[in-house]
């Protein structure tokens, strides 16, 4: 069984467009990117933003989190798993993969935190991606004025 006791979802769109409900709901139901976690596991959950381009705020936020977790709980970095929100690591109608995704992964690894890709997987988005993971722009709706 996975030893994760704290899940951190990293996103930015959540603060611009989205409430984060669908990712949190996928976690609560242990589906999509969270299906490998047992519903019996007592896991804390939090959303943080990268701070926008280039994502440098991620390092400050994770440093703050790991410092506080070490002081205020009996948890350590080994107990944390960061999930890159699907809107960062997968093309969808929100937009392409984050152009700073590799940099963000590097930051998380430098902090010694495990990471995984994906949170909630939209059935429509999954269907519209080609075999290389690219969003098919031909499927977007065209609005006539």
**Cβ within 8 Å of residue 50, ≥6 positions away:** 10, 11, 12, 57, 58, 88, 98, 100, 104
Q: Express each pLDDT in 17-55 by its tens digit.
A: 788 899 999 999 999 999 999 999 999 999 999 988 999
The Cα–Cα gap between 13 and 20 comes to: 9
Domain ranges in the chain are 6-139
**Choice between 118 and 131, residue whose per-residue pLDDT is larger:** 118
pTM of the model: 0.85
């Amino acid at each position: 069984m996975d030893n994760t006791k704290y899940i951190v979802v990293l996103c930015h769109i959540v603060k611009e467009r989205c409430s984060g409900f669908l990712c949190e709901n996928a976690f609560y139901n242990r589906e999509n990117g969270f299906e490998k976690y047992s519903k019996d596991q007592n896991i804390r959950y939090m959303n943080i933003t990268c701070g926008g381009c280039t994502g440098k705020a991620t390092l400050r936020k994770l440093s703050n989190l790991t410092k506080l977790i070490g002081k205020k709980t009996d948890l350590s970095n080994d107990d944390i798993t960061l999930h890159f929100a699907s809107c960062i690591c997968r093309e969808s109608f929100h937009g392409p993969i984050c152009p700073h995704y590799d940099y963000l992964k590097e930051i998380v690894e430098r902090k010694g935190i495990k990471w995984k890709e994906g949170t909630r997987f939209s059935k429509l988005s999954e269907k519209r991606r080609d075999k290389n993971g690219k969003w098919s722009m031909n499927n977007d709706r065209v609005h006539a004025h």
